[in-house]
Chain A
């Protein structure tokens, strides 16, 4: 008697379990449909190329940031989300690799070059600015987006700040140790710079009126403005250019050409704009900008 009771309970539990799993399966399917990256199952490549190797292996390791809202942010399930992640999925898809077969690795600013050089990652898509110093140790495909340092002010722009030159004599906030803060110190020494450890404190100080402006890359500022549209506004006059590229091993010309071709395709067929709208665009509320021009240096 007791045994049958347990059996019944176990059976009931089983039903609950299968109910759950099918639901989860459905959810995964929906998410899949959401993604702009379709898998090109017919992809085939010349033997001996990096593309053929990855296609053969059916998996790819991609480095991205885990802490950049809109670009690469780890969601509660432990999967990164954002514009960088979508771009990476598009490239992987063209290699015949499904999104769930991508191995994600967190790359922070300091370890991107070493990870590529040591072969720990195949690609890095991590708000990775293309510059000449970095070109000496890695190759870049792209750019797939051009960010720039901009200024955020209180709504209505009471101080009339239109660009970095108007910061003279004003108190401007940024994050200690960041490139935008160093740019203000080096090139706009008339501005009174104060630095916190995170941008949210800068935003608090702008609300309190202790600082008249906050400055960093526009993609970060748009996220802050979106969080408090009544309190803040973006000056919208970027004064540096930060072209974001996809980092890969130095000298792998075929792989770089392939990634560039994929990016150009995605610019033309709308997958790029769609990826933007669903990630960074969803935060800023602005539609996708004009895609940048690929730089085949």
Chain B
């Protein structure tokens, strides 16, 4: 157990890096994904096409490839992220937004069409119908799938280890080299750190799900 106190700084900063990667890219994905879902159900064909193209691109590309492109690919276009951490947030956010979009869109489709028709009959425009009538109901039904997306995202942050971000998986690689005789213990500590993020999330998702459930 000695190595835990010896490396407490590394473990703590790695944990915070993983957590902030997940939270920041989660926010990016939630906002962008919702906008994309609105575009995909909008009556304007160019918006629908653009959003569909975006979603299919990021949903069907391996995350490692997205990382590679944002870290090494865009340099060819003379673009560069200010730090490897922001590049990681961008890669995770863009990739996850495609999944958020599809989850939210399924929620929108689950709202009975009568709701939107009633809103239109009352004179609300498309934007008002979506933001005040459809989306509030849609979000309530997509809490479980969004929870899945969030937990997948928290684990996907480990890809950043291969791209110069010292998060938990990078710490794992470093500690197993130095503590070759305690590899199982190192694994246990790192897995526990991931569970500290994901288990309370799973619990919180269940609570929210119960609170916002629509009684029909």
Contact = CB atoms under 8 A, between A and B. Distances in A.
Interface of A: 110, 173, 176-179, 181-182, 194-198, 201, 204-205, 208, 210
B174 A177 contact: yes
A195 B180 contact: no
A100 B75 CA distance: 47
B170 A176 contact: yes
30 contacts: A110-B180, A173-B164, A176-B161, A176-B166, A176-B173, A176-B174, A177-B176, A177-B177, A178-B177, A179-B177, A182-B174, A182-B177, A182-B178, A194-B84, A194-B164, A195-B164, A195-B166, A195-B170, A195-B174, A196-B163, A196-B164, A197-B161, A197-B173, A201-B72, A201-B163, A201-B164, A205-B72, A208-B72, A208-B80, A210-B80
Majority secondary structure of chain A interface residues (helix, strand, loop or mixed): mixed
Interface in B133-171: 161-164, 166, 170
A208 B170 CA distance: 23
Nearest to A171: B164
Given A176-B174, A208-B80, 20 more contacts: A173-B164, A176-B161, A176-B166, A176-B170, A177-B173, A179-B177, A181-B174, A182-B174, A182-B178, A194-B84, A194-B164, A195-B174, A196-B163, A197-B173, A201-B162, A201-B163, A205-B72, A205-B164, A208-B75, A210-B80
Interface in B169-196: 170, 173-174, 176-178, 180
A10 B1 CA distance: 70
Nearest to B176: A177
Contacts of B162: 196-198, 201
B127 to A, nearest CB: 42
A178 B173 CA distance: 9
User: Which 3 residue pairs spanning A and B have beta carbons closest together?
Assistant: A177-B173, A197-B162, A177-B177
Interface size class of B (residues with CB under 8 A): 10 to 19
Contacts of B180: 110
Nearest to B173: A177
A179 B176 CA distance: 11
Contacts of A210: 80
Contacts of B84: 194
Contacts of B166: 176, 195
Contacts of A197: 161-162, 173
Interface string B31-73: 0000000000000000000000000000000000000000010
Interface centre among A179, A196, A208 (most CB of B within 10 A): A196
Contacts of B80: 208, 210
A211 to B, nearest CB: 9
Interface string B90-112: 00000000000000000000000
Contacts of A182: 174, 177-178
A204 B177 contact: no
Contacts of B170: 176, 195
A205 B75 CA distance: 10
B62 to A, nearest CB: 15
A195 B174 CA distance: 10
Contacts of B177: 177-179, 182
Contacts of A173: 164
Contacts of A179: 177
A272 B141 CA distance: 71
Contacts of A176: 161, 166, 170, 173-174
A265 B84 CA distance: 51
A87 B80 CA distance: 46
A132 to B, nearest CB: 15
B189 to A, nearest CB: 16
A194 B180 CA distance: 22
B49 to A, nearest CB: 34
Interface centre among A178, A195, A198 (most CB of B within 10 A): A195
A194 B178 CA distance: 17
Nearest to B177: A177
Nearest to A175: B173
A86 B180 CA distance: 30
A280 B69 CA distance: 32
A194 B161 CA distance: 11
Contacts of A198: 162
Contacts of A110: 180
B124 to A, nearest CB: 50
A154 B176 CA distance: 31
A197 B164 CA distance: 8
Contacts of B75: 208
Contacts of A178: 177
B192 to A, nearest CB: 20
